[in-house]
Every structure is written in C-alpha cells, then in structure tokens.
Amino acid sequence: MEINPAEYGSRSQSSQPAATPSIEAPLSSVSSMSTLWPVLGMGNSRDTLFGRPHATHPLTPRVYEVWQELGSTQTRFCCCGRCVTGPKIDLWYNLCAWFFILIPSGLYFAFCSQKLWNICFWLPILTGVVLVATITFLLLTSCTDPGILPRRRLRMMLPGLDEEVSNVLEMPEDLRDCASDGLTPPNLPDLRQGQGYKWCSTCQVVRPPRTSHCDDCGNCVLTFDHHCPFVNNCIGQRNYVYFSAFLISTLCLGFSVAVGTGISLSGYEPDHPQESVTRNPLLVVFLLLIGVPTAVFLLGVIALLMFHIFLLCTGKTTKEVLTGRRVLQGRSMFERPPSFIHARARVDTPLDS
C-alpha cells in the first residue's frame, strides 16, 4: 500500500486538537486509534449502511466490538453482535429459570410420555410444542434489544444515528440539539420536563417519556418495565411482547406437565386398569420430583401473569406501579420501534469532527 506523504501530512495536521477546549467528552481508545486510520487508507473508504456513511476497511471495528468503550460495560453481545443480553450477575437467576423449564419437562417425557401416548397421543405432542414455544420466547426475550437508547458517545461515532433516534422517537425540535459537556446537565424547559422528558447524566442524552435508566444493565431503555434477572435482560418496549408470550407459554407448559403427571400418578391405564403406578416407589419419587417443582413454579407464573394482565388493562408499567408516578405521554408497550444500537455497523472515523 502506497502512502502519499503530502496527503498523510495534511491529514495528520487535521487530526491535531484545536487550541480551544472541546465540549465533547473524550472518546477513550476509540478516538485515539482514529489517528492511525487515515494512514491505513481508511479515511475515504465509505459506503452506506442503515442509511449512514461508515468506514468499510476490515480493521474498522464494529459497534459491538467497541461497545465497552461507547456504551454500558454490563451489556453483552453474542453471535457476532446479533444477540444482546444483560450482565453476568444474572447468570444464576437465568440458570434457575432454565432448570425449572427443562428438568421437569425432561422427566415428564422420560417417565410419563409413553403412558400418556397410550391414553391420548395428543398430550405429549402438545406438551412438546408448548415446550419449544417456551424455549423460543425465552431466547427472544433474553437475546433481543429491549429498546436501548444509544449513549451520546455512540451517536458521535455513527453519523446520522442521532437524527434517526430523534425522528423515530419524534423528539421536539427544541430538544434535538440539546447537548452537554458531560459535567453540567442542560436546562430542559419546564414544559418538556412536565411531559416526561429527562436528562440522563450517565448516557448524556435526553430521555423520552416513560424511558428509564436501568442500573443493572447501565442503559436507558425505552418504555422501561423492569429488569428481569431470570431472563437476563431488561423488559422494555422492544421485547415486552416476547416476555408476555413467554409467560403465557410457560403457564401452558406448567399445566400440561402437571396434568400429565397427575394422570400418571392416578395409575389410570386403558388396557390394564388394575395396574397402578404406585406399585413402583421409585417411579412415584420421580413423578413427585416433576410435580412439586412444577406446581411451585406454576403458582409464581400465574401470579406474575395476572399482574401483567393488570398492567395491560391499566396501561402502566411495573416501575410506574411501584413508584406511583405515571407519565401520560409516551409510547405503548406494543409499539415496537427499530433497534438503535446497530451492533454490526462499523464505527465511523471522526475525521470530520
């Protein structure tokens, strides 16, 4: 690769800091690396992704690769940025949810499915379908962007992202150019504060109504409901539908497993009605291991589902019920906007800043 000395010199001079102090917060290692990108020929290599220009050189990092620099350190990405989930501290809670789903279901299919197949083959088939649906909705809830509002540093690195967020969220004109030096929060008009707009000093952005900052994940989440450690993610505007479907499918799975276990414990056998399952003590123990945890888990799911039905009927979120403060404006939980984090987009070189 040939380097033009004159071009390199002009670009090096343009990358030097100005004499006047900048109001922008430091961009840490991402900005410090940017002075080397022009030398590598990455300054003018651009095309369009998500409607914004970006560098396409293989060495230009993607958003998920530098998220620790531009976003929350608690958010984790997997599958090359295609999936986003919560902090590591939720691991044991998440494993507990998987345990109560997989272990009773596995014992059910191991010790009850054969007998139930002889009674009514639809019972184990429907249980298997509901189990697959439960696992699917759990993964969607855990690995979907809940509605993370990009931090100011990320908006600076992706040209056009700030405008995209403002347009999709229909931000008022007097708040679109609201900025801060990272130390002093801007003065929001009283009218906007009454409507629910707030300044987040951590993310350094204006939060729309019903948006809250999650201390567990370290992100501002659109229409924030709560942080659920059992799914290892926040429950917000973009995954609330998946979370509701997960609760419904889990309830159906619990009932299916409980009914199948009850039929097995009853000893009913169409071909051999005189035989009873209680003659095998070991089998009874295994069936109880299925039934008792399933019953306890089922009661918890019923209570949680009833609570969220109440929330849907009243148009509130969990946080609004717990805090007693409700914002009349804002989006519904079932209005699903596009994701703003663009984890696989490549960060832009700050040559024009």
Report, as ranges of residue numbers, the positions in the chain whose pLDDT lies below 50: 1-56, 274, 350-353
Residue pLDDT, tens place only, 279-307? 567 667 766 776 677 778 788 889 999 99
Catalytic residue among 112, 220, 228, 234: 228
Q: Report pLDDT for 3.
A: 44
For position 335, what pLDDT does the model report? 80
What per-residue confidence (pLDDT) applies to 326? 75
Strands (DSSP E) found in 105-165: 148-149
Three-state DSSP at 207 gives strand
Burial, 310: exposed, middle or buried (Cβ in 10 Å; 0-12, 13-18, 19+)?
Answer: exposed
User: Would you state the pLDDT for residue 305?
Assistant: 92
pLDDT at residue 34, as a whole number: 44
Q: pTM of the predicted model, to two decimals?
A: 0.76
Enter the tokens of residue 144: 């979907």
pLDDT at 57: 52
* pLDDT at position 137: 97
Residues 6+ apart with CB under 8 A from 163: none
Q: What are the tokens at 189?
A: 């008009």
Predicted pLDDT of residue 13: 44
Residue whose tokens read 């003018």: 44
φ and ψ of 79, to 5 deg: 55, 45
- The full length of the chain comes to 353
Q: What is the DSSP string of 57-78?
A: -TTSPBGGGGHHHHS-SS-EEE
Quick check: is 228 catalytic?
yes
DSSP 60: S
- Among 183, 123, 124, 125, which residue's Cα sits nearest to residue 152? 183
Contact 154, 161 (CB under 8 A): yes
CA 110 – CA 60 distance, rounded (Å): 51
